Amino acid sequence: LARLTRRQILTVPFGNVTSLLRYRAHCGGVLPPLDLDALLRLWEEGRGTGVCFEVVGAFGRLLTALGYDARPTPGFIAGFMGGHQALVVTLDGGRQYLVDAGNGAPLFAPVPIGPVVE
């Protein structure tokens, strides 16, 4: 999990350019659901960026396909709850980790949930 998290952060740059272009393409109207396959193609080509909601959707799907129990969780950022999203990953034995791979100040490794961690 730690290696996958680090690789995700180093491969997909955090940024809002792709999101802003998507918003502009729909003239500020209702946005369709994210096309995670299209985002993945952009990232593979080194042409796209991602914000937390995009990265968590794609990375969570990858982790789930690999057999991990990964669930999105809302976060408090930019002054309001729900302004951020990360993943909670539960490993065998029930141990849970916060994986925040879509953050401008990313956490390069999963953070254990439970005891206080600095």
pTM surpassing 0.95?
no
CB-based burial label for 102 (10 Å; 0-12, 13-18, 19+) = buried
d(CA 10, CA 52): 14
Per-residue pLDDT of the chain (118 residues; tens, 9 = 90+): 999 999 999 988 888 777 777 778 888 678 788 888 888 888 888 888 888 888 898 999 999 999 999 999 988 776 766 778 999 999 988 999 999 988 888 889 999 998 675 6
